[in-house]
Structures are given as structure tokens and as C-alpha cells.
Amino acid sequence: MTAGNYTVVWAPYYTAHKILRGLLDAYLGTGDTRALDLAEGMCDWMYSRLSKLPATTLQRMWGIFSSGEFGGIVEAICDLYAVTGKREHLALARLFDLDRLIDACAAGEDILNGMHANQHIPIFTGLVRLYDETGEERYLTAAKNFWDMVVPTRMYGIGGTSTAEFWKAPGAVAGTLSDTNAETCCAYNLLKLSRTLFFHEQDPAYMDYYERALHNQILGSRQDRPDAEKPLVTYFVGLRPGHVRDYTPKAGTTCCEGTGMESHTKYQDSVYFARPDGTALYVNLYSPTTLTWAEKGVTVTQTTDYPREQGATITVRGRRAAAFDLLLRVPAWARDGFRVTVNGRTVKGTPVPGSYFAVSRTWRDGDTVRVRVPFRLRVEKALDDPSVQTLFYGPVNLVGRDARTDYLRLGLYRNAALSGDLLPSLTPVTDEPLHYTLDGVEFAPFSEGTEDPTHAYFRRTEPQVVFGATESGVANPARPDGATLLDEIWDAAPFANKPALVRHVESTVDAWVAAGLLGAADGRKVVGTAKGASYAGR
């Protein structure tokens, strides 16, 4: 197929992937060689066809939307090759190489603008598997660079990507908000890619992303009501103000309904990983789970109500002692207060946000680890318009529930805590965990699959300098780049105590006065207000 009329021929190798993956899983799960025979036959047939085509035809075919969409077929073929060792199967996997994309990404050249997102994301999971089987660095480098081109530059707060199935220019977030953002299959495939890349480089950024997309877009992709016939999952997720999430099946169904059912069987997928030599266990996600680690003769049980609970309890059981490092992910957003105890005693060390905190010991039956992961309310700014922001409490994306279709305009500094936590400016909703109100609007987790009109993004406005709910009477000045005086002050949080905050306010005010951004008299008012205010938290 070398023309783009997908109403005539739509992505035949995408369908072939689904059949092949099913056959391979049937063989791996049951040992039934009939399934393996069929899988081998499919690949032999595909190789007999594709190997006869000129390279220019293959390149043209794979570059077409959307008949060139072949989903995860390369990953599946590589998995089959790992079973059969048949050289034609590895050659077949390489016949799907889209060289223009691979070469650009391997060189760090971003050519994604205008490309169909979900046609290309699974390509890179396949490239990592090709690297596994061939050792060709070009494949792995391309996949790692590609991930960086999407996260965070083409990522929405919930972890999703794409607009009407396509990518825009890097950094285009606020300018792309619409009814057709974040195709759900894209999040599904980015999770697979993040997991696969982590096997090669234990970069905690991959698992920070995994937590984000899992706890927000994927959890929120299923409507919170039962239905015996329909999957009730999202295709697009609209992120414009006042959007109502749509869970209804589309004519003929979409790929997102298939992956949408699969996603909710996979919450255990990446909670734990072990080093091949058994010297370390990675705890990537805080989730109620039990791991049976047969090679070490232990079970690891994690008890938690995360993210309603800000932490987890991990218990190690086993008939014999086992030595290994327990590597606990310190989320990048956990800027203050991450603590670990073993059997009630604090573990020494300095947890670094966006890293793993190691607990090294010989574990004995009944050893108990308590992980404290304090949340704080924070914002993430759209890369193309910092005044357009989305709200997070720890890993939880909070969305406003309001029927208006223009941006909500919100201020959050009015009662910020010394830690920098913005939560004291919101009012908790009684008996509704993770629900708050601000200026008459209820904010709730995106992960709740309701049909309320929501505001995933709002317009930040802080017109007056205020500390501890005490107004200074001074307009909040801004630099040419849009950053305000209050932004610069609170970007330095956490503060050890009130005097530390006041000293920072004084130095910041002096700099702004010297730069001509703030009058001296107004500067004195700002400092006086900071000194006289009372602050939440320590």
C-alpha cells in the first residue's frame, strides 16, 4: 500500500500485529505448539512478501498515514525470534525500519511536528527490542532521544500527548488545548516504552512519568460505573476549559477501546523490578501489592492507600535471611520530607527528588519499612504560556469541576506555607479525600471517571502581593518574561522558618528595586507584610 487512502486499506500490519501477539501469548501462556506454528507461519508469510519489495517502496509505505501504521508488530516479531532463533524472523523485524525517523531521532533531530502520534510511539518500543537482539546502538539511541522529544515537551499534565491524533511543535501545550487532546492509546504506548527503556537505563524519570500517566490519564480513562457490554473508556481526552469526558464507544470501535480494556489489567506491571544478579529490588510505584521473589526466597508486601495515603508500609517475609538493596523511588515532586524507617528506626541518608533512596541490609523475616512521601500542592506551567497552569497534589492532577468554557482565573499564593505548599489556600471538602474548593469551584482528581465538565488547566492570576492571607496593598510586579515578584519569592521554598522567608523577601525586594521593577516605598510595604504575616506549616 503506497497511497494514503485509509478508507480503502487501513493499516493491515496493525491487524497482523494483534493476531501475532495473541498467538505468541497463547504459546507462552500454555505451551501449545499449534499457536507457535501459526505465529511462525504468519511471520514466514510476511517475510516472503516484504523481502521482495524494494527498500524505497518499504520506506514510502511505512511513512504513510495511516496504512503505514503497524503498531507493535516489531516488538512481537522480536519476541518470536527470541523463541525460534530463526534468522528470517529477525530480518523481518528490520524490514519495518522507518529510516528517516530512526536516523533523525538517533541524531537528536526532532521531526515529530505533524506526525501521527500513535502510529509512531510503538515503533520505538520495537526498536528497543531490536537493540536487544542485534546490539545496534542506533536503535536504542533513537528510542531514548524520542522519549525526550515527547516528555515533557509534548506532554499534557495528565501524561497524555497528541492533538487530534497528531503532534504539534515542541512546547505547544496551552496553544493546543481542545476537545481532542491526549489520545488514550498514546499514553498506553508511552507507558510501554518507558517501562522498556527502564530495563536498559534505570533513570527514575521513566518511572516518574509512569506514575503520572498511570495515576491520572489511565485511571481516569475508565468511567466509574459498571457496564456488562461496553468498555466505557476514553478515546480522546479534551483538556479545554469545561470539557465533558466522553466514554462512549465509537462507530466501529477505536484502538483506544482495545487498549482501554487491557490497561486496567496492568496496574501491577511496573511496581517492582529486580537487578538480574539479585542485588537490588526497585520499588517504582507505591501500590498495594505482594511480590513473590522466588530467587531470593522472600515475599515483599506493600500496604498502602496511596495516593490517599502519603506513603506506604513494606514488609519482607522469608524463611531465610536475604541480602539486597531496596531502592525506593523518590518522586521528582517530593521536594521535602521524604523519610524512611526500618523497624521504627530512621534510615540515614539524604533522599534526592528524582532518584532512588537505597536501604542496604540483610533482610530478615518480618522486617518492616515505612516510607513517608509528603505531598504538597504545586502547579505545572504550560511551556508556551506560563500563566496557563495545571494543579497537582503529589502525583494527583486536580481538575476544577465547572461548566464555564473560558479559563478559570485563580490565585494560589494567598496563604502559601513556609514549605512552598499552596494547599492552605484551598479548603478541604468534608469526607471527600483529595477534594478541595477554591473560589467556589470544587477541585477533584482527574482519575475520577465522571462526566462533570472539567478544567484541567486554569489561568493563574496574582494581582496583589499577599503573605499569609495578609494583603500588602502593593500590585504584584512582573518581569518582561512574565515571572512575578511572588513567583521569584516562592520558587525558593521550602524555608526553614519565618525568618528565613523574610530574609529572602528582603533580598528579592532589594534586587527588584535596584532593577527598577518595584518602587522603594512599595518594597518596604512588601517586606513589612511578610514580617507581620502568619504562615501555615513550620
The mean pLDDT value of the chain amounts to 96
Domain boundaries, the chain: 1-96, 465-538
Distance, in Å, from the CA atom of 159 to the CA atom of 233, rounded to the nearest integer, reads: 16
- In this prediction, residue 229 carries a pLDDT of 87
Q: Report, as an integer, the average pLDDT of 462-477.
A: 97
Buried b (16+ CB within 10 A) or exposed e, 67-93: bbbbbbbbbbbbbbbeeeeeebbbebb
Distance, in Å, from the CA atom of 47 to the CA atom of 42, rounded to the nearest integer, reads: 9
Strand partners, 138: none
233 near 219, Cβ under 8 Å? no
Element (H, E) at 363: strand 355-363
Residue 252 banded pLDDT, cuts 50, 70, 90 = low
At 342, is the secondary structure helix, strand, or coil?
A: strand
Q: Which of 122, 120, 124 is nearest to 166 (CA)?
A: 120
Q: Which of 183, 147, 149 is nearest to 165 (CA)?
A: 183
Neighbour count for residue 37 (Cβ, 10 Å)? 12
Q: DSSP alpha helices (H): ranges in 5-68?
A: 12-30, 33-50, 55-62
The 10s digit of each residue's pLDDT in 287-297 is: 999 999 999 99
Q: Report, as an integer, the average pLDDT of 192-208.
A: 98
pLDDT above 70 for 533: yes
217 near 160, Cβ under 8 Å? yes
- In this prediction, residue 1 carries a pLDDT of 57
- In this prediction, residue 448 carries a pLDDT of 98
With a CB cutoff of 8 Å and minimum separation 6, the contacts of 100 are: 59, 63, 111
Comparing 85-89, 257-261, 440-444, which segment has the lowest mean pLDDT? 257-261
- In this prediction, residue 5 carries a pLDDT of 75
* Phi/psi at 299 (5° precision): -115, 145
Distance, in Å, from the CA atom of 198 to the CA atom of 327, rounded to the nearest integer, reads: 14
166 near 116, Cβ under 8 Å? yes
More confident residue, 11 or 217: 217
The 10s digit of each residue's pLDDT in 273-288 is: 999 999 999 999 999 9
Strand partners, 298: 293, 318
C-alpha cell at 237: 481526552
> Percent of the chain having pLDDT more than 70?
99
How far apart, in Å, are the Cα atoms of 491 and each of 379, 411, 427, 459? Answer: 11, 15, 23, 18
Q: Which of 472, 462, 470, 464 is nearest to 526 (CA)?
A: 472
The 10s digit of each residue's pLDDT in 341-393 is: 999 999 999 999 999 999 999 999 999 999 999 999 999 999 999 999 999 99
Distance, in Å, from the CA atom of 363 to the CA atom of 159, rounded to the nearest integer, reads: 36
DSSP 295: G
C-alpha cell at 313: 508500609
- In this prediction, residue 3 carries a pLDDT of 67
The 10s digit of each residue's pLDDT in 38-56 is: 999 999 999 999 999 999 9
Q: Report, as an integer, the average pLDDT of 139-146.
A: 98
pTM over 0.85: yes
Distance, in Å, from the CA atom of 112 to the CA atom of 503, rounded to the nearest integer, reads: 46
Comparing 143-157, 213-227, 253-267, 470-484, which segment has the lowest mean pLDDT? 253-267
pLDDT above 70 for 2: no
User: Beta strands 385-393 and 396-401: pairing type?
Assistant: antiparallel
Q: Report, as an integer, the average pLDDT of 131-151.
A: 98
Residue 225 banded pLDDT, cuts 50, 70, 90 = very high
